[in-house]
A = this chain, B = another copy of it.
């Protein structure tokens, strides 16, 4: 009944010295089932179905903790605010993010492998590379609705 990834996630938590509470177990399920980005409120609502007494601040706390230890990754959507998703515990990659439906597709290219022109007195620790756009299905939608804003500065 439990897919392996859930255990992997829980495992990672306990290995980092965090306790496996029911909420966290459920949190793992929620993220792995959904696969996409969830706002704290989304998570709270989903979690409430299992634990009606859960409090929003616990959700926040756990989201932050899990992000810190690299189990979740967070993105800020210009319109939807901060959201979290399970990060693939697999290999390094980046994402295409659909600006409409928020679905993500990962790809392997990493600019850091090809990077040039960075002053070498700067010590690189981390990086972020995301490509935003429209996935195929959302493109079709927007062609019909013509909701695409024009920008006009050179």
Copies of this chain, whole number: 2
Q: A69-B153, A128-B129, A133-B126 are in contact. Are A108 and B117 (CB under 8 A)?
A: yes
Q: List A54-100 residues whose CB lies under 8 Å from chain B.
A: 69-71, 74, 76, 78, 87-89, 96, 98-99
Min CB gap A93→B, angstroms: 10
Interface flags, A98-139, vs B, CB<8A=1, else 0: 110000010111011011111101111111111111111001
A123 touches B109 (CB 8 A): no
Whether A12 sits at the interface, judged by CB under 8 Å, is yes
Min CB gap A2→B, angstroms: 18
Whether A154 sits at the interface, judged by CB under 8 Å, is yes
Partner of A122, one of B69, B88, B105, B151: B105
Whether A152 sits at the interface, judged by CB under 8 Å, is yes
Collect the chain B residues with CB atoms within 8 Å of residue A98's CB.
122
Collect the chain B residues with CB atoms within 8 Å of residue A153's CB.
12, 16, 69-71, 87-88
**How far apart are the CA atoms of A148 and B16 in the complex, in Å?**
19
